[in-house]
Structure 1
Amino acid sequence: MATSRRRPSRRPAPEGRRRPAPQRPAEPGPVLELDVERIAHGGVAVARHDGRVVFVADAIPGERVRAQVTDAARDRFWRAETLEVLGASPDRREHVWAEASVDRAPEDRAGGAEFGHIAMRRQRELKAEVLRDALARMGGVERDVEVRAVDPALAPGVDVEEGTGWRTRVRLHVDAEGVVGPYAARSHRVVPVASLPLAVAELEEIAPLAGGARRAGAAAEASSIDLVAPSGGRAELVVHAARDRRPEHPPTVVERVGDRSFTLDRGGFWQVHRGAASTLTLAVQAAIDADRFDPDAENQDLYGGVGLLAAAVGDRFGPSTRITTVEADARATEHAGANLADWVGARAVPERVDRYLDRLAGATDGATRGLRGATVVLDPPRAGAGRTVVDRLAELRPAQVVYVACDPVALARDVATFRAHGYELETLEAFDLFPNTHHVEAVARFAAIV
């Protein structure tokens, strides 16, 4: 979420192509008939067997399935995978990715499209249920929320109704025998595939898939293969050998959002959905309360990457807006400085967010007072901002905080911490930036209740 998200992607540490991948348990557990009750965080459904919770993959609430237990090591719950659907939900459809279908053996199902068997409308409803539940249980907030599809006008070439053709970045893996493909679901076993329906068309055309003419050459001596389709250039296939090191000056690509261009490292972080950067730009701009915004305050863009959301703030409030973007990755920060050159009040700081906030908290009274009228935008990793960052940020008392979140549980934990400091959740919007997966993006605004 999907992929993993959030900070600039880095190649895996050298590990050798012949390191054995994790395997499923040699001794399978029992086969059960289960009535599926609800969806859980992580893309699995919840059923019960003799009072024990069973998390079952590839099922939909309301269905009855026959499932193989794959993990019975815990007393409180088991994990299982659907083998057969005995009573299908009206929301079940033919999987958008044939190689991930329940018709295949569980160990051969491609990972990364765990909701692909569910109608799009129902997918978004389930994601909203998970977000609402997390906010209520962990954040102490009862909040209705709707997960909205990406506006087709922001995502040319994407099939919004099918949830396909949206991924602009795909990583394929290469096993010891040279097989190219994604990992199987919940595994590090490479499975060959003949299609990549979630990828944009440009990537499907160049992907070295099973039976393709490019397969053997692309896989030679490779440990992984990245497919990248930037909006500002041609699609590229990048082969990584096991002993590759990150070059001192990596190749760059250009991404376009509206009339603006953003330069970043080809392997650096960028939102993977073709329409995500534009969607989040508009959502963050809308989330900021203009009555609380002071263009002369020490406004902040934390976990800022290459400056996308700092630019969103500047575009809404004008080129003289003061804003500091903070990012631990030095290369991303270097690009952010160049990407924000239009704003005379913008600066880019290469530093970890927690250390940066510690410095602000220890600064002179003048600097601290400057943050008191500020607007803070933050887009943390999947694990969330966390207590240390939220505690420090709340201590600095900004006027408002706009939080971009890609994990409902992490957001809910941070909601609880903000509330403990007197910052309440005022607005919340959610977007389906990862169709056919369980991932969801949310944009929240917090403000201190006086």
Structure 2
Amino acid sequence: MPENRRQRRPRVRRPSRSPRPAPEAPATDGPVIELEIERVAHGGVFVAHHEGRVVFVADAIPGERVAARVSDQGRERFWRAETVAVLDASPDRREHVWAEASVDRAPELRAGGAEFGHIRMPRQRALKGEVLREALSRMAGLEADVHVEPVESGFAPGVSLDDGTGWRTRMRLHVDADGRVGPYAARSHTIVPVASLPLAAPELEALAPLDERFAGASAIDLVAPSAGDPAVVVVEGDRRPNGARATIEERVGERTFRLDRDGFWQVHRGAAATLTRAVQDLIDGELFDPRAANHDLYGGVGLLAAAVGDRFGETLRITTVESDARATEHAGANLSEWIGARAVTARVDRYLDELAAGAGAAERARLRDATFVLDPPRAGAGRAVVERLAALRPRQLVYVACDPVAFARDVGLFRERGYELDELRAFDMFPNTHHIEAVARLRAIV
């Protein structure tokens, strides 16, 4: 059952995969121009040209002709614009799955978080594949055949594959100065009252207090764990709560993971099971040594380390590394059945420095025989971590990525240091948004 909706708690800051500065609200008085939409760009917008200038356009589809209001003319190289009318529609355009995000609304009143909701699902996946393919070509020098797969229905009961709705098991709504609840408007931190939450899991949408007022609160968190009841949590302030923190359980197949309710967990109902299967499948068994110094970097509460353990058995040796101490504590408990598993609280770059500095000849050999799984935040692993990993020279890497550009950059860095992309899969774990998840295997070239 939901918690007391009037209860006030210190605000819980969730671990973020994409910390960004607050965007500006779209301008309401810019000029309206006609544009031919050419292609998709990273970030959920589309590319057009006007009098020789690049224009990034929201709420469009390649091949369409639209009228768009320019919302940012302050840049020399490009403008931003919001579609206000569709003059020649794509056959892939549909009625938006979220009425409050539709192009029929004024841009400043459109709910954010469903920027592809006006596009039919097969085209959404094709567009996401284009973004990943282009990023790999431009940043890693690779021409990859990218097919974006939906999450298997067996992993995500209640989720509509046709509409891309009902998949979010976590959602944060915001509270304005008058106590009204709603999401941020698209590309803005303006709060928009709404009457529906179609991307939310049905049990969360049913509980969401969209017509209530919460004076003094800063946010409303909706959480639907796979084990136990959904919760509505009222939060306020800038500090974590004192004392014991609420924990939940998530089930993936036959396995149960304990974590903090405000800790990181995959948002899509079927994402954890999908990633478990993908990581298991992409590890090359002929290259895998269960007694080597195997690692799960950015390991969270141990989901992917457990995936490796479930494939390779009780003799597995694996270390999961995570900077969040509470997540590491949970990982230690979640992985306790493997005697050779340990959980370390550390920043990944610093941990790799200490690992390299303290490794003798025998341990360096175990590291060279190892498999490293890494699931970095949206910014990717980055040059420092790539350099440290490549210097250790593990046999294979399995990289889980939630940002195509950061992933492509890191693949390019690994290629420069003697690793090649062996296999790549991509999953639509964020339907009706521009986000995509990729899982890849990189192999050290001898």
Q: Could you tell me whether the CA contact under 8 Å between 1:32 and 1:68 is conserved in 2?
A: yes
1:361 Cα deviation after fit: 1.1
Q: 1:338 — aligned with what?
A: 333
CA distance in 2, matches of 1:186, 1:25: 7
Where does residue 428 of structure 1 map in the other structure?
424
Contact 2:25 2:189 in 1 (8 A): no
Q: Is the 8 A contact 2:399 2:441 kept in 1?
A: yes
**Do structure 1's residue 177 and structure 2's residue 173 form an aligned pair?**
no
Give the C-alpha shift of residue 367 in structure 1: 2.1
CA contact (8 A) 1:192 1:209 kept: yes
AA matched with 1:76: R
**Where do 5+ consecutive residues of structure 1 fail to align?**
1-8, 14-20
Between the aligned partners of 1:407 and 1:397, the Cα distance in structure 2 is: 24
Q: Give the drift of 1:249.
A: 2.6
Query: How far did 1:12 drift?
Result: 7.8
**Structure 1 pair 123/170, CA: closer, same or farther in 2 (3 Å)?**
same
Are residues 1:366 and 2:362 paired?
A: yes
What does 1:328-407 align with in structure 2 at a 5 Å threshold? 328-363=323-358, 364-407=360-403
Q: Spell out, residue by residue over 1:110-132, the C-alpha distance to the aligned partner (whole angstroms, 9 max, x if none).
A: 00000000000000000000000
Distance 1:274 1:108, change over 3 A: same
Q: Give the superposition deviation at 1:248.
A: 4.3
Counterpart position of 2:297: 302
Aligned counterpart, 2:204: 203
Q: TM-score, normalised by structure 2?
A: 0.94
* Residue 408 (structure 1) aligned with residue 404 (structure 2): yes
The correspondence of residues 206-245 of structure 1 with structure 2, limited to 5 A, is 206-210=207-211, 215-216=212-213, 219-245=214-240
Corresponding residue of 1:140: 141
% identical aligned pairs: 70
| SS of equivalent to 2:48 | strand
What is residue 270 of structure 1 aligned with on the other side? 265
| Per-residue deviation, 1:242 | 2.2
Find the residue that maps to 1:324 and give its secondary structure: strand
Q: Structure 2: state its 5+ residue gaps.
A: 1-10, 16-21
Q: Which amino acid aligns with 2:13?
A: R
CA contact (8 A) 2:25 2:190 kept: no
Please say if residues 304 and 379 of structure 1, whose CA atoms lie closer than 8 Å, have aligned partners that are also in contact.
Answer: yes
Matched letter for residue 385 of structure 1: A
Counterpart residue number, 1:289: 284
Q: CA contact under 8 A between 1:360 and 1:367: conserved in structure 2?
A: no
Matched to 1:361, the amino acid is A
Cα distance change, pair 296–348 in 1 and its aligned pair in 2 (3 A): same
Question: What TM-score does the superposition give when structure 1 sets the normalisation length?
Answer: 0.93
Over the residues paired in the alignment, what is the CA RMSD in angstroms? 1.5
CA distance 1:53–1:419, shift in 2 (3 Å): same
Task: Between 242-251 and 345-354, report the one with greater CA deviation.
Answer: 242-251
**One-letter code aligned to 2:398:** V
Spell out, residue by residue over 1:67-96, the C-alpha distance to the aligned partner (whole angstroms, 9 max, x if none): 000001111100000000000000000000
Q: 1:396 to 1:23 in 2, by over 3 A?
A: closer
How many angstroms apart in 1 are the aligned matches of 2:14 and 2:118?
31
Q: How many residues align?
A: 429
Residue among 309, 317, 320 paired with 2:312? 317
Cα gap change, 1:27 to 1:162, in 2 (>3 Å): closer
Does the C-alpha gap of structure 1 residues 446 and 243 become closer, same or farther in structure 2, counting only changes over 3 Å? closer
Please list the CA deviations of residues 358-412 of structure 1 after superposition, one character each: whole Å capped at 9, or x if unmatched: 0111112322221100000000000000000000000000010000000000000
Aligned to 2:3: none
Q: How does 1:90-129 map to 2 (within 5 A)?
A: 90-129=91-130
CA deviations on 1:272-323 (whole Å, 9 max, x unpaired) are 0000000000000000000000000000000000000000000000011000
Aligned-partner residue type, residue 203 of structure 1: L
After superposition, the Cα gap between the structure-2 partners of 1:64 and 1:292, relative to the gap in structure 1 and judged at 3 Å, is same
